[in-house]
């Protein structure tokens, strides 16, 4: 829990610093800074750093509630997709642009222009990407131990078995058929055919005469009413 909170906090701080720096670079573009002499470049770079910290502080104060809600959802649902955090950062930046526009005083310079809107959205999207690099891609990691993470379990299973389990090498239950080879059942007969075959075999066994009884009982003579005499 503490590790997750520290990760989220570090990601939020770096995301705010990124948002502040991007907004300042839209005002003091890198092309303009590179055209300055060395002495002027150092002064403008120092000014850009101070303005970046001020913009980052302002962004953190405004976005902390929205960012914590989005981060909490990501940690709870284990959302590790970069697009989620990039889109969240852009949405928070759009809300900040709307709040800045609503707080303007009539007759004063306004930020209602396309360049300022692009600056806000770009800063929010890059801030979301930085948060994903630091914390978002590890969302929910503290809820489950790394040794029992679902990805680690799959990887260890593939390592021990030598190959991923498919329908060809999965465990199977084999049921042997006790029917003797060569019978109707051995030729993939249906249940009715198996029963009929067994009944035929039983009937054939009852119809076969006993060889010992055939030797002791002589056949009857046609037209004779006397019982044959037994041997003395």
User: Measured between alpha carbons, how far is residue 104 from residues 57, 110, 124, 150 in Å?
Assistant: 20, 7, 21, 51
18 versus 194: the higher-pLDDT residue is 18
Position 209 scores a pLDDT of 58
Q: For residues 84 and 125, is the Cβ–Cβ distance under 8 A?
A: no
Q: Residue 156 pLDDT > 80, yes or no? A: no
* Across 148-156, average pLDDT: 48
Torsion of CA 56, 60, 66, 71, to 10 degrees: 90
Position 144 scores a pLDDT of 47
User: Measured between alpha carbons, how far is residue 108 from residues 101, 112, 114, 171, 221 in Å?
Assistant: 11, 12, 18, 76, 140
> Is this structure's pTM higher than 0.95?
no
| pLDDT grade for 195, boundaries at 50, 70 and 90 | confident
203 versus 36: the higher-pLDDT residue is 36
Position 115 scores a pLDDT of 93
Burial class (CB in 10 A: 0-12, 13-18, 19+), 210: exposed
54 versus 203: the higher-pLDDT residue is 54
Question: Among all chains, which residue has been given the structure tokens 């990407």?
Answer: 129
| Cα–Cα distance, 186 to 72 (Å, whole number) | 63
* Across 113-136, average pLDDT: 96
| pLDDT grade for 15, boundaries at 50, 70 and 90 | very high
| Cα–Cα distance, 69 to 78 (Å, whole number) | 14
- Residue closest to 120 by CA, chosen among 96, 99, 84: 96
Give CA angle at 175 (173, 179), nearest 5°. 170
Q: Residue 220 pLDDT > 60, yes or no? A: no
Q: Residue 89 pLDDT > 90, yes or no? A: yes
In the chain, the DSSP E strands lie at none
| pLDDT grade for 212, boundaries at 50, 70 and 90 | low
* Across 169-181, average pLDDT: 58
* Across 208-213, average pLDDT: 56
Q: Residue 20 pLDDT > 70, yes or no? A: yes
Position 191 scores a pLDDT of 67
């Amino acid at each position: 829990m503490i590790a997750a909170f520290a990760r989220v906090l570090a990601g939020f701080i770096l995301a705010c610093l990124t948002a502040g720096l991007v907004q300042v670079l839209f005002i003091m573009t890198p092309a303009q800074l590179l055209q300055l002499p060395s002495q002027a470049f150092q002064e403008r770079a120092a000014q850009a750093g101070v303005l970046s910290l001020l913009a980052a502080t302002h962004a953190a104060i405004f976005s902390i509630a929205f960012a914590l809600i989005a981060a909490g959802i990501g940690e709870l649902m284990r959302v590790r997709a970069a697009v989620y955090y990039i889109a969240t950062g852009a949405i928070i930046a759009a809300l900040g642009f709307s709040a800045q526009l609503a707080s303007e005083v009539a007759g004063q310079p306004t930020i209602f222009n396309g360049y300022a809107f692009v600056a806000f959205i770009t800063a929010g999207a890059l801030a979301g990407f930085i948060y994903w690099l630091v914390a978002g891609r590890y969302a929910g990691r503290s809820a489950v131990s790394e040794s029992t993470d679902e990805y680690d379990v799959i990887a260890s299973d593939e390592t021990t078995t030598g190959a991923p389990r498919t329908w060809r090498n999965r465990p199977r239950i084999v049921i042997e058929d006790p029917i003797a080879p060569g019978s109707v059942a051995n030729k993939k007969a249906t249940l009715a055919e198996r029963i009929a075959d067994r009944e035929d075999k039983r009937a054939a066994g009852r119809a076969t005469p006993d060889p010992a009884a055939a030797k002791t009982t002589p056949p009857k003579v046609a037209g004779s009413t006397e019982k044959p005499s037994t041997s003395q």
